[in-house]
Chain A
Amino acid sequence: AQKVTQAQTEISVVEKEDVTLDCVYETRDTTYYLFWYKQPPSGELVFLIRRNSFDEQNEISGRYSWNFQKSTSSFNFTITASQVVDSAVYFCALSEYTTSGTYKYIFGTGTRLKVLA
């Protein structure tokens, strides 16, 4: 069954600390896509990254980096030198191809990150 687990409900760090948000997924398919979204206190949902199941290269974008490991079914997100503006709820999501010929999209329950000044 398709499932996305974000076991960390809430994390608090002090500014400039590094922090990793965990995402573990379950899928039966060999072709799937993983995503991270950010929801700042203002409430909108912002897309951060998309990764397909055939590309296990890690990705870095500024202070953000993503570690995709198929062996552990994880797609973890690290923020280096965190800043107060990183405070938000972060969602991991999975899209997999179904037997009905469509993609099914499922979100994790989110991790609330608080970065303290």
Chain B
Amino acid sequence: DADVTQTPRNRITKTGKRIMLECSQTKGHDRMYWYRQDPGLGLRLIYYSFDVKDINKGEISDGYSVSRQAQAKFSLSLESAIPNQTALYFCATSDRGNQPQHFGDGTRLSIL
């Protein structure tokens, strides 16, 4: 089984819909991250969490919200999806901030 699991892997939805992307991990890491990847822009940080009670905005948090339900679970929500949120979304975990991040397989989200 994968250490970092993202669901769904693919999602197509319409403008204005609420979407939730889920991430769970079995690595036992405290730190979890959500990124989006767009062609030519690399990976940009949306939100990150150092533990269940600590959630922080990244560089592009507008239009997104997160929930850290447990050490192992970190969900990303788009309250009212818009087409420019079409992207590949990654969840990642790390043991500490100076350690490698471990990524899920990504969620490809298309908003029509």
Contacts and interface: CB of A to CB of B under 8 A. Distances in A.
Nearest to A46: B103
Interface string B79-99: 000000000101010001111
B99 A102 contact: no
Interface stretch (B18-26, B38-46, B67-75): B38-46
For chain B, the bracket of interface size reads 20 to 34
Given A50-B99, A105-B33, A107-B43, 20 more contacts: A6-B42, A9-B40, A43-B105, A43-B106, A44-B106, A45-B90, A47-B102, A50-B100, A91-B43, A95-B97, A97-B97, A103-B98, A104-B97, A105-B45, A105-B97, A105-B101, A107-B42, A107-B44, A109-B41, A109-B42
At the interface, is chain A mostly helix, strand, loop or mixed?
A: strand
Contact of B101 (A9, A47, A97, A110): A47
Contacts of B40: 9, 109
A36 to B, nearest CB: 10
Contact of A91 (B42, B45, B97, B102): B42
A31 to B, nearest CB: 8
A43 B98 contact: no
Interface in B10-42: 33, 35, 40-42
Contacts, number: 46
A35 interface: yes
B42 A47 contact: no
Interface residues of A, number: 22
